[in-house]
Homo-oligomer: A and B are copies of this chain.
Amino acid sequence: MAVSDHPRMSDVAERAGVSLSTVSRALRGATGVAPSVRENVERAAAELGYVVSRGASGLVTGRTGRIAVLVPFLQPWFFGVALAGMSTEMRSSGRDMLVYQVGDVTELNAYIRSLPLRSNVDAVIAVALDLEEGEAARFDEIGVPVVFCSQRVKDRASVFIDNTEAAADAARHLLNLGHARIAYIQSSDETGFSWASHDRLRGYEAAMAEAGAAPLVVTERPGHEGGALGMGRLLSMADPPTAVFAESDDVAMGALQVVRRSRLEVPDVVSVMGFDDSDMAALADLTTVAQPVFDMGVQAARLAAETIDASEPCSEHVRLDTRLVVRRSTAVPRPTRSLTGR
């Protein structure tokens, strides 16, 4: 067969050895096409120079084949890992991933406002944003389904972990090691987005109450600077805690740095517990709670795809498990009360 200037879809079907409808479905990124078949069709189309006219497949299906992912930040490891999970899942269903950084509520509102104009996505995945009810409803009006990733939202598609239960387990681990004086370093929320901060604190407080131990909470700015400041405060107390539970690994890293710069030993002088199992945790030998971040991305993209294909609202809740990863930063407390053992 000669390669014409304007090859038709039937030429692609013939070359790939599949039906017309398979070509159509493969090229517009519909589900239910095996990756190897899709690749065959794409190769045949590319070899023939067959080009789907822009928007043509969208005009047929009313769909764009694209999903938008909204993140408050792009730098932190969490978002890279979640995006990697989404990217993997979207590739397998032939969809494209648009990424928008909406660093504060103003930027988020600007994005939502511009959405009807862009008309460029079939669904939105909101990662670790805390959309208010009115903001979430805005998406409803314009007919774009939203899936929440790393946030549990009532009656809406959400993928999340149980931060409260996971934090309670982590605190119980420290209690079980024999610690009675366990501090918690909490981050103040300056971004307008509520993180899992609140739920984790609740878990810590519940476990302490359960054990009849007095909670000791210090609140500092977010990130490792806050962890350093919080640990500084704790090490300046008349009766410093023997264990510190930081609300995130990033906070824990700041706390660890202060302890190590002081040439105090972890866990001899103080046990340190994080939360997240970020890329730094293993390197810092930090005991922490591992979140299945990659899988959260996969599941969020899967929910988004299912919602698009079903053309109806989805309110499925996917709760993923966490696990405690014990490393060298936690141990039984020393009997002596002095920081240096002397």
| A interface residues with partner B (beta carbon < 8 Å) | 27, 39, 42-43, 45-46, 49-55, 58-59, 64, 66, 73-77, 79-81, 83-84, 87-88, 91, 96-101, 107, 110, 113-114, 116-120, 224, 253-254, 257, 261, 279-280, 283-285
Contact = CB atoms under 8 A, between A and B. Distances in A.
Q: Which among A53, A55, A77, A261 has the highest number of chain B CB atoms within 10 Å?
A: A55
B77 A83 contact: no
This chain's copy number in the assembly: 2
A237 B91 CA distance: 47
Contacts of A53: 119
A83 B110 CA distance: 20
Given A54-B64, A55-B54, A283-B224, A80 B75 contact: yes
A80 B87 contact: no
Nearest to A81: B75
Given A52-B118, A54-B119, 11 more contacts: A39-B110, A49-B116, A54-B55, A54-B64, A54-B120, A74-B83, A75-B77, A80-B80, A87-B101, A91-B100, A98-B99
A256 B116 CA distance: 51
Interface of chain A, helix or strand or loop or mixed?
Answer: helix
Nearest to A35: B110
A182 to B, nearest CB: 23
Nearest 4 Cβ contacts at the A-B interface: A55-B55, A74-B84, A87-B101, A80-B80
Contact of A283 (B46, B59, B257): B257
A99 B87 contact: yes
Nearest to A94: B114
14 contacts: A42-B114, A51-B116, A51-B119, A54-B58, A54-B64, A54-B119, A74-B84, A75-B77, A75-B81, A75-B84, A77-B279, A83-B101, A254-B283, A280-B283
